[in-house]
A = this chain, B = another copy of it.
């Protein structure tokens, strides 16, 4: 025959390199710095190379998004694995969500950009997002099962997700005028979502060493 095709792993490796270069550019110099030419230049390759591995620029950003969601999911699953009392877990999970966003604002902006291709077109990204939400839902379900929260977990976890996300979105867009510390709004938000008295009691009673 002829020259053998790249192994699937090899092709994935190149794709990973492309994503890494794009991520580095994005994190260091912002969205506008992520150009196809710059990505290729960072890899010491020609400007046309990325097009052999991604259909277009948008697909590269979709891949980046999925990677970010995977990272977020990992931290959320770690919280769930600690096995704290449900309300403590929810509280901690919400804070780790906020910590993630504040530590990686550029990534968060990317993940939840308002201008995005319809998720249905990118099942991989959709799955990554669902994994994060499922983790929250599991924690919420445990709280419901123990009678600490009423309502169904699917709806409730969506409400929590949306409320936290709204806070972070406004914060990152500089549209929060109340003070400088986001915490001033996080605490009341969590109180509203989970109830202040129950939270305090759960935290006092539920602290464990590790898990």
Contact = CB atoms under 8 A, between A and B. Distances in A.
Contacts of A167: 159, 162-163, 166
A33 interface: no
Given A116-B174, A119-B175, A163-B162, A156 B188 contact: yes
B163 A129 contact: no
Contact of A158 (B109, B185, B193): B185
A115 B113 CA distance: 8
A25 to B, nearest CB: 16
A114 B106 CA distance: 10
A151 interface: yes
B166 A178 contact: no
A120 B113 CA distance: 22
B112 A173 contact: yes
B189 A114 contact: no
Interface of A: 31, 109, 112-116, 118-120, 129-130, 133, 151, 154-156, 158-159, 161-167, 169-170, 172-178, 184-185, 188-189, 192-193
5 contacts: A155-B184, A159-B167, A162-B169, A163-B166, A164-B166
